[in-house]
Amino acid sequence: MSKEIPPTDGLSLLFKDLFPQKTQSDLARILSELLGIPTPALTCSGTVAFIIALETLHELEPQRTQVILPAWTCPLVALAVEKIGLTPILCDLAQNSLEFDLKQLSQLSNTSTLAIVATHFAGLVCDLIAIQKIAHQHGIYLIEDAAQAMGAKTHTQSVGLIGDISFFSLAFGKGLTSAEGGVLFSRHLELHRKLLKNTAQLPTLHGWEIKRCLELIGYYCLYRPSSLSLIYGHNLRKALKNNDEISAVGDDFDQNSIPMHQLGKWRSAVAASAAQRLATHWQSAQQRATYRIQRLKQIPHLQVFEKRLDTTTTYPFLLILVDQIELCKAILDELWTRGLGVTKLFVRAINQYPALAHIPANTPNAIDFAARSFTISNSVWLDDDRFEQVVEILQKHCINKKD
């Protein structure tokens, strides 16, 4: 079977992780120490962490019902807002940027707004200063969606400690995994206590827990290039053959995709065991990314997203924006099905997904970003030879291409 490079830099499991030792099995404590965050609540997914964040804030401000989201993000985030009866408000991105269009953000913010969700895409710490100012003006809470950004820092401080509430994801492909899981915390002591309390009230659902345990064992067995095409590449190619980009990247969610229950003890202990290797995992990812970004920046027509000054990033993958839609299509036509770890992050702007098409939005930049962006894996398995194959194909398309 041909080799398949995973699209992100997931941390693989070792056999010994499946038999975690009691002394090293407290995931919340380990993450608290590793990241310098309050001992977090653990949830069954990042999405459920986000839901508990919203419910907790809504208890405090019951008259506020709107939640402002980036118009290009994980569709689960918008579905989560609707699942609990709140209203998602989509804010456009600035042009050629991962940051909000601040003018629109300001126009959308008012006394009905419960929270603004700022997202650290691709592990890159986003600029919260201007967003925070707008939030303060209207008494709006700031939630940091750090699902893709565990390990990212400003100076020495973890992401998630500037906004009011933050969460990480432990889904497959986000780095550390428990086969779906979430990490939820607030820098405010009172609010943090409420998050812990509300998380503790979720039910234990044995059916879901067994399914996730089996998936985690499957991940241990199959998360390597020789077998990854079975669980990832095969579906990707099949969906792309049917012109179904949404299923190809696994963005085909609906309300039923969000079960709400406890994160099981064994799964969190497995993740705790693997978490001992996170620091070195991140370090090697940073080294790879730093060199590769410089390499990619020499190719015309491509904009590679880099960490901002004074921040560090764990680079789960590299995010690239092409300056022409057709050029992006041509690149993906050649690279998407090659097994070289090239794919798209979110294939559509939020209200361009069938399940979310009812949300009103004026977000041309988000639509454009979805059409012109792609990602290159930062997995250790994308070795230098394979990375050079990707670079060669990119050069072939981009050099001598007219403006």
Ligand X SMILES: *Cc1c(COP(=O)(O)O)cnc(C)c1O
The string over 44-55, giving b where at least 16 C-beta atoms fall within 10 Å of a residue's C-beta and e elsewhere, is bbbbbbbbbbbe
- Applying CB under 6 A, among 171, 240, 274, 335 the residue interacting with ligand X is 171
Which residue spans within 307-377 are E strands per DSSP?
311-312, 317-322, 342-343, 373-377
Mark the segment that binds ligand X (CB under 6 A) among 145-153, 220-228, 288-296, 363-371: 145-153
> Rounded to whole angstroms, how far apart are CA atoms 282 and 348?
29
Task: Map tokens 């707008």 to a residue.
Answer: 134
Which of 52, 74, 366, 370 is in the footprint of ligand X by CB under 6 A? 74
End-to-end CA distance of the chain: 40
Q: For ligand X, which is the closer residue by CB, 79 or 398?
A: 79
Evaluate whether 320 touches 122 at the Cβ level (below 8 Å). no
Taking the least distance from each CB to ligand X, the nearer of 66 and 73 is 73
Confirm or reject binding of residue 9 to ligand X (CB under 6 A). no
Say whether residue 147 binds ligand X (CB under 6 A): yes
76 binds ligand X (CB under 6 A): yes
Position 268 contacts ligand X (CB under 6 A): no
Using CB under 6 A, pick the residue from 56, 104, 166, 169 that binds ligand X. Answer: 169
| Partners of residue 182 on adjacent β-strands | 43, 169
Q: Which of 46, 88, 151, 339 binds ligand X (CB under 6 A)?
A: 46
Helix (H/G/I), strand (E/B), else coil: 113: strand
Interface residue with ligand X, options 4, 6, 9, 45 (CB under 6 A): 45
* Residue 150 in the binding site for ligand X (CB under 6 A): no
Q: How far is the CB of 235 from ligand X (least distance, A)?
A: 17
3-state secondary structure of 165: strand
Q: 3-class SS at 157?
A: strand
Tell me how far CA of residue 1 lies from CA of 226, 230, 338, in angstroms.
Answer: 7, 9, 13
Least distance from C-beta 112 to ligand X, angstroms?
23
Q: Considering only residues 56, 73, 198, 378, which one is a binding residue for ligand X as defined by CB under 6 A? A: 73
Q: What x/- string results for residues 113 through 132 when contact with ligand X is judged by CB under 6 A?
A: ------x-------------
Residue 114's nearest CA partner among 64, 63, 78, 77 is: 64
Residue 40 contacts ligand X per CB under 6 A: no
Is 37 in contact with 158 (CB distance < 8 Å)? yes
Nearer to ligand X (CB atom), residue 13 or residue 394: 13
Distance CA 174, CA 186 (A): 21
d(CA 113, CA 218): 42
Cα distance between residue 169 and residue 176, in whole Å? 8
Q: Which residue is nearest to ligand X (CB)?
A: 46
Q: How far is the CB of 276 from ligand X (least distance, A)?
A: 21
Should residue 148 be labelled a site residue for ligand X when binding is judged by CB under 6 A? yes
Binding site for ligand X (CB under 6 A): 45-47, 73-74, 76-77, 119, 145, 147-148, 169, 171, 180, 182
